[in-house]
Amino acid sequence: MMQLNGAEILMECLKEQGVDTIFGYPGGAVINIYDALYKYQNDIRHILTSHEQGASHAADGYARATGKVGVCLATSGPGATNLVTGIATAYMDSVPMVAITGNVPLALLGKDSFQEVDITGITMPITKHNFIVKDVNDLAATIRRAFYIAQEGRPGPVLVDIPKDITAQITEYIKEKPRVVNKAVENITKEDINNALKLLKEANKPLIYVGGGVNHADANGDLVAFAETIKAPVCSSLMGLGGFPGDHKLFTGMIGMHGTKPSNLAATQCDLLIAIGARFSDRVISKMEAFAPRAKILHIDIDPAEINKNIKTHYCIIGDVKEVIKRINEKLNPMNRTEWINQIDEWKNSFPLSYKTNGALKPQAVLEKIYNITKGDAVITTEVGQNQIWAAQYYKYTKSRTFISSGGLGTMGYGLGACIGAQLAQPEKQVINIAGDGSFQMNCNELATAVKYNLPIIIVILNNGVLGMVRQWQKLFYDKRYSQTTLGRSTDIIKLAEAYGAKGYEITNEVEFENAFKEALEAKEPVVINCIIDEEDNVFPIVPPGAAIEKVITEE
């Protein structure tokens, strides 16, 4: 038992939870917390980012790369609101995160005080839960509860708002072991497993659709065994990449708006769709009534709120997807579906992912080079837009937690912060951020953070001088009315990188890229590779808005 102030109690609670790294930015309302961080610097590493949004994205990247809870810290008012985009990003992709904000002293709450906002009110729709601590005696219990909620069931972000005077008040601290977060298995019944087995036995053309829940549950190995035993092709949402090996013969690629033609045809023709840890996002299903029209749907998910939310299911199993698949696997007998697999292989041969070469540097070729040179053994983070989809399509993800991207919210400016967080989480891994020039310039200030901590990250910018994805829509669906998507900036990216203290390369062909990328891998410092690509390079396949996913447009 110890007498500690609130800030010190916060430090002790973070230590209890096994937190070794937090990302943040100081300010008046959290000055007592930063004073405690000074005292606890041998136990907890604080990463000073350039902006609070960078801190939230870094905490998110740290969490996605490890499965642990990411932690970010900001002061009151603008510091707290700068976390909002990062909190929403984590919420949409079910990322376990605890965001800690300072606030004005209790007596000044609700009086429009300097740097005061109602951050719990602001973040209510984008957190699993949030708290404002109004009694120092409740602080330790609140922090412990926040970490439990962030990890329990479907993960997500939790915010804890701590008024400044609470961090200064003294009370007793008694150390506790963290509450064990058990897997959600209480709703999985024998009847569920038997019903799933019956559906599998009756199906002639099953298709497995993998979502981000497979990665959260680290169910990659169990899923491979399941697919190989029932002889079913496997497609993936953007967030599901890495949940099933991208180089496996049963993998058909992504499904949906930017899905492969084999995946989208398989979804249209299958008689059983097995959705695992997936939420049937609009980017996957497109035209609802035309999605998997011939199929019974078996939905396996940890969150009961996802069942029948977007697509009517025929049968569901609620629980930890790793445990569900494991229990099904225990009772499975090998199945044979030669005809269906032959059909899938025929589609894969007829409609491979492809792009036209014309001597210019192609973004798809850049991704293929990165994959070949790293032998698929890197962690890839992305920004949002064309760069994100090319990274999803042309790099094969064989393991969970190797593709880190903002899926649900689609946050431009996410990738660099996430790259920093992932590199700090996995120092032995090579972490590479794939960026577009539009996204890069949103949060390029975090280059200062990468340089300060000498992180060996590589930022590959696919620079076409335009807001590529929006421009592509304008080209295909808006009669080429390019409203405000041609950036027309004269920024010298190499000078910008060098001004921050990073190394910079400008690239116009594949040979230059290969040489620069190999040098970057050896450099062991932050490197920016600015790849000049054509503004007419577009992402294919693409499903037109409102069309059935089988109506996918390929480049031809």
pLDDT tens for 437-463 read 999 999 999 999 999 999 999 999 999
Confidence of residue 284 (pLDDT cuts 50, 70, 90): very high
Q: What are phi and psi of 131, to 5 degrees?
A: -135, 145
Residue 512 is among the residues annotated as catalytic for this protein: no
Specify if 458 maps to a domain: yes
Same domain? For 307 and 447 the reply is: no
- The predicted-structure confidence for 87-142, as pLDDT tens digits, reads as follows 999 999 999 999 999 999 989 989 999 999 999 999 999 999 999 999 999 999 99
Q: How far is CA 432 from CA 91, 250, 405, 417, 476, in A?
A: 23, 27, 12, 12, 31
Dump the DSSP string for 433-459. Answer: EEEEHHHHHHSGGGHHHHHHTT---EE
**Same structural domain, 132 and 275:** no
**Do the bridges between strand 45-48 and strand 157-163 make them parallel or antiparallel, or are there none, so unpaired?**
unpaired
Give yes or no: residues 47 and 110 share one domain: yes
Catalytic position from the list 68, 164, 322, 396: 164
Query: What digits encode the pLDDT tens for the residues 213-261?
Result: 999 999 999 999 999 999 999 999 999 999 999 999 999 999 999 999 9
- Of 155, 176, 169, the C-alpha closest to 69 is 155
Q: pLDDT at position 89, please? A: 98
CA distance to 283, 343, 353, 468, 503, per residue, from 260 (Å): 13, 15, 7, 20, 36
Look at residue 423 in the predicted model and tell me its pLDDT.
Answer: 98
**pLDDT interval class at 359 (50, 70, 90):** confident
Same-domain check for residues 341 and 285:
yes
Mean pLDDT of 420-437: 98
pLDDT at 392: 98
The pLDDT tens digits of the residues spanning 471-505 come to: 999 999 999 999 999 999 999 999 999 999 999 99
User: Is 11 annotated in the active site?
Assistant: no
Residues β-bridged to residue 3: 172
Same domain, 422 and 460: yes
Shared domain for 55 and 162, answered yes or no, is yes
Amino acid letter, residue 533? I
pLDDT digits (tens, 9 = 90+) for 10-31: 999 999 999 999 999 999 999 9
- pLDDT score of 556: 57
pLDDT tens-digit map of 294-304: 999 999 999 99
- Asked whether the predicted pLDDT for residue 62 surpasses 70, the reply is yes
Q: Is 469 a catalytic residue?
A: yes
Instruction: Mark which of 350, 375, 409 sits at the end of a domain.
Output: 350
Are 330 and 451 found together in one domain?
Answer: no
pLDDT in tens, 29-61: 999 999 999 999 999 999 999 999 999 999 999
| Separation of alpha carbons 275 and 298, rounded Å | 6
- pLDDT band, residue 555 (cuts 50/70/90): confident
551 part of a folded domain:
no
Residue 301 within a domain:
yes
Q: Which of 306, 322, 469, 474 is catalytic?
A: 469
Mean pLDDT of the chain: 97
- Listed in order, strand segments (DSSP E) in 105-145 are 129-132
Element (H, E) at 432: strand 430-436
**Residue 270 forms part of a structural domain:** yes
Among 41, 114, 518, 524, the active-site one is 114
Q: What is the CATH number of the domain that holds 477?
A: 3.40.50.970
Give me the CATH number covering residue 326: 3.40.50.1220
Residue 175 has pLDDT above 90, yes or no: yes
Of 115, 169, 343, 426, catalytic: 115
Q: Which of 236, 237, 251 is nearest to 281 (CA)?
A: 237
Overall number of domains in the chain: 3
And the tokens for 134? Answer: 């109004």
| Residues 281 and 388 reside in one and the same domain | no
Report how far residue 52's alpha carbon sits from residue 73's, in angstroms, rounded to the nearest whole number. Answer: 8
Above pLDDT 70, what percent of the chain?
100
- Let me know if residue 355 belongs to a domain: no
Q: How far apart are CA 306 and CA 186, in angstroms?
A: 18
Residues whose CB is less than 8 angstroms from the CB of residue 226 and which lie 6 or more positions away in sequence, other chains included: 208, 325, 328, 329, 332
Q: What domain range includes position 23?
A: 2-173
Annotated active-site residue in 52, 306, 323, 446: 52
| Residues 167 and 198 occupy one common structural domain | no
C-beta separation of 53 from 82 below 8 A? yes
Q: Which of 148, 173, 198 corresponds to the end of one domain? A: 173
Decide if 474 is inside a domain.
yes
Q: In the numeric block, which tokens belong to residue 100?
A: 């800690």
**Are residues 134 and 8 part of one domain?**
yes
Judge if 268 and 367 occupy the same domain.
no
323 given a catalytic annotation? no
Is 92 considered catalytic here? no
Given 132, 147, 173, the domain boundary residue is 173
Give the strands of the sheet with 430-436, arranged side by side. Answer: 403-404, 378-382, 430-436, 458-463, 527-532, 503-507
Does an H or E element contain 73, and which?
strand 70-74
Q: What is the model's pLDDT at position 1? A: 73
- For residue 477, count CB atoms less than 10 angstroms from its CB and return exposed for 0-12, middle for 13-18, buried for 19 or more: exposed
Please tell me whether residues 413 and 463 are part of one structural domain.
yes
Whole-prediction pTM: 0.97
With 90 as the cut, is the pLDDT of residue 548 above it? Answer: yes
Share in percent of the chain as helix, strand, coil (round to 5): 45, 20, 40
The answer to whether 47 and 88 have CB atoms below 8 angstroms apart is no
> Is residue 69 in a domain?
yes
Question: What DSSP assignment string belongs to 232-262?
Answer: --EEE-TTTTTSS-TTSTTEEEE-STT--HH
**Cis peptide preceding 155, ω within 30 of 0:** no
Is 544 part of a structural domain of the chain? Answer: no
